[in-house]
């Protein structure tokens, strides 16, 4: 329906919607690569006539031409295919249905079908639980060919056996008009599909919102449909200098995004749009457990929030219909489908992608980048920038399910203190509650909880509680205020008959707050405030908020209708929308749960962050299990109930990198694993890696052995302590990175490809990652080894601990990695500020700074520091911050204070190290005064006893 292309303006004729970046020459037509090449550079096959198989070549030429004509035909004028009625469900299930096509025509059709390359076959029969036969397939007027390398019966999760022919009818563009923001047109379908309630007339609106953002909406002009209720920017004028061009027709184009490759569907409960892709390099599309780089070989990713321990090929806790694509040459683009309904996203090796949702509208954004970091910035500009975390959020958090008493919890905290191991935050899981009920604590086992929390505060530590959305509904009337008051205020989700829907979670039978209702937010705040007067908690951990239900639907079941059993059900775990959650027909303030389900965690996070702001008058700390786009504005995320296995250690890296793409940088995995018995070696390596998660928490399950650092041998305890002290020393770096995420939409934990987009070898790396642009983390991910292999992009890298230089031509290098070490390298051209660590960030953040500069070959380096009081709401927005730029060039470091606040006056710079100083200086000057320095054989210059106030400009020079 719409194609987006990078193009040369001289070649543009008139096409329907063409998108391009900076103009560049159209690539010449190239031969189809051999299979080995095709795996690296997938392309749509070109049409050609061979001398050996002249007839087949001619047929292929006609076929390709037919596809092009069909595409333009679909776009520009109504199809003259004769209308056909969709087969009834009974006829579709009955073998031997006549297609009404004579044998000769059928043979020709099948011959034409056979010429469609396997990689370009789009599934015409995606329903699960059906053995697709030729009769069923051809009843839909589709092609049926058992694929040569199908990985499942009837091509399920593999090459489709039933796929669309080139002439399959779709919508025609019958009119297009200019608007103040772009274009608006009408699409008409004259042939009904095989899904009920086709919407035959559609409106397409193309909005040129910014120079790098195009917004397309396809809607039903006759009836309003559900739209995702998150705030997105409203453009008021058309982009003045866009990096794309939208035209009305074209021929010679190098396409990177083309939605004409398969028919458009727009029925009441089935929306489908397909697009070609520019390459095989696709990222995002959370939440799923997978490698960071998605496999595009017939890979279906289902989105529908679900309570399930992380596993492959399963819909997990959150839904994020956004992908980032790397293109040939290092450019990139992004695509965001703003839709919260259950959906499948299908990747296939053409390369191509299909969106298949069961409600809402087709509302999508294209972000032009051109580099991946810019794409993410443009994406969060739509969904909302992540919040600046309160400072202690970046410390070490400790939790377990199964402390059993407040005194045993307190004992662990004291043990951590006695061992001088950093810890900022202590948590409790659901065992602190009275009968697992929210806003209560066990008066016997946790009787000293209020005193423990006061002790934490005395030691500059914080306390976080868990809350589940399920509110106990079985307590005697008048004995449980949250439920009684919730009924009085009418805040709970209702069933299809308008009665309070009752499910089952930890407390037993429960009602579910409807967070789409503002009245519920106020009720939630009142409950939190009442409990805060008893236990002065500092943050919230919101769990089970998919929402989770130990039943399917409710105690009364769910109605039998098309909402509960839609014509097409995406590949959700359990096969039903209501599986382990509430009924799809459940009623919420803003819409039915069918539309709102995957938004539940987002809306609870929004209510929780708002309440915590009001209660503490500080930046809120909220960690949520279920997430949706824009969640970073309100909460962070942990990757769920992982296991104490080496594989889980590895997959956590892909998880944190993906959520940084999705605008939720405050993310981490349960260090040492949640389930299964912890292993000492694994826990050491996990603590080392976890020290570089943006959000760092150790957490394990009930009935498992303790796994806090003090539970292990002295050797392990020391190794873990060193890793955490390293994190605390790097707090100024991490805090500055979160500032850039908050203000500019940058990533914190960053894939290597973001900094090296022209190096294709970085595209699949998910065993290493960067903090910002400067620090390269290379953890050990395997048992029983004292080395690790890491890839180092071309350039000069320095061992962070020693300053030893390590030049690389873009190669894999084996690094020594004893059990007490995680390899960390500083990229040339970087300046980072560090501090002397202590056991809490409150103490650490008051220590003097040490500046580390990693010089490029020309002797240059840059870096920065953002600083504020760590907890004031909107400190940056209200100018209550300091921001300093550090530059090194021609043997001179300068510090330039671009913005200053009182907080910076309390911090001094005491030492500075310069890696890569080629010759020993004879003299070092600090603000034109001689200074004490040392110079080592590995070309590291260190200047000490500086005593420089951070709030004033200074210079350090050597000669």
Q: Are strands 849-854 and 830-835 parallel, antiparallel or unpaired?
A: antiparallel
SS3 273: strand
Q: At what angle do helices 646-661 and 680-690 cross, to 10 degrees?
A: 10
Token reading at 104: 């000769």
Dihedral sign from CA coordinates of 511, 512, 517, 519 = positive
Q: Which residues are catalytic?
A: 543, 546
Contacts by residues 557-566 (CB-CB < 8 Å, ≥ 24 positions apart):
557/583, 558/495, 558/496, 558/583, 558/584, 558/585, 559/496, 559/583, 559/585, 561/585, 562/196, 562/269, 563/592, 563/594, 566/269, 566/270, 566/358
Query: Whole-angstrom Cα distance, residue 198 to residue 188?
Result: 11
Beta bridge partners of 294: none
According to DSSP H, which parts of 419-542 are helical?
A: 449-458, 481-489, 518-532
Q: Which of 869, 896, 870, 912 is nearest to 950 (CA)?
A: 896
Q: What is the DSSP string of 765-798?
A: --S-EEETTTEEEE---STT-SEEEEEE-SEEEE
Give which of 690, 687, 649 is closest to 668, Cα–Cα.
690
Q: What is the DSSP letter of 598?
A: G
Q: Determine the 3-state secondary structure of 392 from DSSP.
A: helix
65: which 2 tokens? 């031409």
SS3 assignment, position 246:
coil
CA triplet 747, 753, 756: central angle to 5 degrees? Answer: 110
Non-local (6+) Cβ contacts of 937 within 8 A are: none
What does R_g of the chain's alpha carbons equal in angstroms? 30
Whether the Cβ atoms of residue 601 and residue 521 lie closer than 8 Å to each other: no
Say if CB 637 and CB 667 are below 8 A apart: yes
Main-chain phi, psi angles of 475, to 5 degrees: -75, 150
Percent helix, strand and coil across the chain, each rounded to 5? Answer: 25, 25, 50
Contact between residue 624 and residue 604 where contact means Cβ atoms under 8 Å apart = yes
117 CB neighbour count, 10 Å cutoff: 12
Comparing CA positions, the residue from 291, 261, 217, 461 lying closest to residue 352 is 261
Q: Taking a C-beta distance cutoff of 8 angstroms, is the pair 434, 444 a contact?
A: no
Count Cβ atoms below 10 Å from residue 216 Cβ, excluding itself: 23
**Cβ(39)–Cβ(279) under 8 Å?**
no
């Amino acid at each position: 329906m719409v194609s987006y292309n990078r193009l040369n303006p001289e070649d543009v004729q008139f096409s329907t919607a063409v998108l391009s970046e900076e103009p560049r020459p159209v690539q010449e037509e190239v031969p189809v690569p051999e299979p080995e090449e095709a795996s690296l550079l997938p392309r749509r096959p070109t049409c050609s006539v061979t001398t050996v198989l002249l007839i087949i070549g001619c047929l292929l030429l006609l076929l390709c031409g037919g596809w092009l004509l069909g595409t333009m035909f679909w776009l520009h004028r109504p199809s003259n295919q004769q209308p056909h009625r969709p087969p009834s469900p009974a006829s579709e299930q009955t073998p031997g249905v006549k297609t009404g096509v004579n044998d000769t025509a059928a043979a020709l059709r099948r011959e034409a079908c056979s010429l469609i390359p396997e990689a370009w076959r789009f599934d015409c029969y995606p329903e699960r639980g059906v053995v697709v036969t030729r009769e069923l397939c051809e009843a839909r007027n589709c092609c049926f060919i058992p694929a040569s390398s199908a990985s499942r019966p009837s091509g399920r999760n593999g090459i489709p056996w039933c796929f669309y022919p080139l002439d399959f009818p779709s919508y025609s563009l019958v009119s297009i008009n200019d608007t103040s923001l772009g274009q608006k047109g009408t699409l008409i379908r004259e042939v009904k599909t095989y899904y009920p309630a086709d919407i035959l007339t559609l409106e397409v609106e193309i909005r040129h919102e910014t120079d790098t953002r195009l917004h397309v909406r396809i809607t039903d002009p006759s009836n309003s449909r559900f739209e995702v209720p998150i705030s997105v920017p409203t453009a008021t004028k058309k982009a003045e200098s866009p990096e794309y061009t939208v035209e009305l027709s074209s021929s010679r184009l190098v396409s990177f995004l083309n939605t004409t490759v398969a028919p458009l569907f727009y029925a009441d409960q089935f929306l489908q749009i397909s697009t070609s892709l520019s390459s095989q390099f696709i990222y995002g599309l959370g939440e799923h457990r997978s490698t960071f780089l998605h496999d595009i070989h017939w890979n279906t990713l289902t989105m529908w929030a679900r309570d399930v321990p992380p596993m492959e090929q399963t819909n997990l806790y959150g839904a994020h219909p956004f992908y980032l694509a790397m293109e040939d040459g290092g450019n990139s683009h992004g695509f965001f489908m703003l839709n919260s309904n259950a959906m499948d996203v299908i990747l296939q090796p053409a390369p191509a992608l299909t969106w298949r949702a069961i409600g809402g509208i087709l509302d999508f954004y294209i972000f032009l980048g051109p580099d991946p970091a810019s794409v993410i910035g443009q994406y969060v500009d739509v969904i909302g920038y992540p919040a600046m975390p309160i400072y202690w959020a970046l410390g070490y958090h400790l939790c377990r399910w199964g402390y059993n008493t407040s005194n045993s919890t307190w004992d662990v905290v004291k043990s951590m203190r006695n061992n001088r191991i950093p810890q900022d935050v202590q948590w409790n899981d659901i065992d602190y509650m009275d009968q697992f009920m929210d806003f209560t604590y066990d008066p016997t086992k946790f009787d000293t909880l209020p005193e423990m929390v006061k002790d934490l505060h005395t030691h500059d530590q914080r306390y976080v509680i868990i809350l589940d959305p399920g509110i106990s509904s079985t307590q005697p009337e008048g004995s449980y205020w949250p439920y009684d008051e919730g009924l009085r205020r009418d805040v709970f989700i209702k069933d299809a008959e308008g009665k309070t829907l009752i499910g089952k979670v930890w407390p037993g039978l429960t009602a579910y707050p409807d967070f789409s209702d503002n009245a519920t937010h106020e009720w939630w705040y009142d409950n939190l405030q009442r409990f805060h007067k008893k236990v002065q908690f500092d943050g919230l951990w919101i769990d089970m908020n998919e929402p989770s239900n130990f039943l399917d639907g409710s105690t009364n079941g769910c109605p039998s209708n098309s909402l509960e059993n839609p014509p097409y059900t995406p590949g959700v775990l359990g096969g039903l929308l209501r599986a382990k959650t509430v009924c799809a027909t459940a009623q919420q303030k803003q819409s039915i749960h069918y539309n709102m389900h995957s938004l539940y965690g987002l809306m609870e996070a929004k209510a929780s962050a708002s309440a915590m702001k009001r209660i503490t008058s500080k930046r809120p700390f909220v960690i949520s299990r279920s997430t949706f786009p824009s969640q970073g504005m309100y909460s962070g995320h942990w990757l769920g109930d992982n296991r104490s296995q080496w594989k889980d250690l590895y997959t956590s890296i892909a998880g944190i990198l993906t959520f940084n793409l999705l605008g939720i940088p405050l993310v981490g995995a349960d260090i040492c694993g949640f389930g299964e018995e912890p292993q000492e070696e694994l826990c050491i390596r996990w603590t080392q890696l976890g020290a570089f998660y943006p959000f760092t928490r150790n957490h394990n399950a009930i009935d498992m052995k303790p796994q806090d650092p003090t539970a292990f041998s002295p050797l392990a305890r020391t190794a873990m302590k060193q890793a955490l002290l390293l994190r605390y020393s790097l707090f100024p770096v991490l805090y500055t990175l979160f500032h850039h995420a908050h203000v500019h939409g940058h990533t914190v934990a960053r894939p290597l490809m973001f900094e090296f987009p022209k190096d294709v070898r970085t595209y699949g790396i998910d065993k290493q990652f960067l903090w910002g642009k400067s620090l390269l983390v290379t953890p050990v991910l395997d048992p029983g080894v004292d080395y690790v292999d890491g890839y180092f992009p071309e350039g000069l890298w320095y061992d962070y601990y020693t300053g030893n230089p390590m030049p690389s031509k873009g190669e894999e290098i084996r690094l020594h990695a004893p059990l007490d070490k995680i390899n960390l390298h500083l990229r040339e051209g970087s300046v980072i500020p560090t501090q002397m660590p202590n056991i809490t960030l409150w103490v650490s953040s008051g220590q003097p700074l040490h500046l580390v500069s990693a010089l490029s070959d020309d002797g240059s380096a840059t870096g920065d520091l953002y600083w504020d009081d760590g907890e004031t709401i909107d400190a940056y927005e209200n100018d209550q911050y300091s921001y300093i730029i550090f530059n090194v060039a021609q043997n001179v470091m300068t510090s330039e204070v671009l913005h200053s606040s009182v907080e910076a006056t309390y911090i001094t710079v005491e030492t500075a190290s310069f890696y890569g100083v080629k010759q020993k200086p004879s003299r070092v000057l600090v603000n034109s005064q001689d200074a004490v320095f040392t110079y080592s054989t590995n070309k590291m210059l260190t200047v000490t006893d500086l005593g420089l106030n951070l709030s004033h400009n200074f210079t350090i020079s050597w000669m």
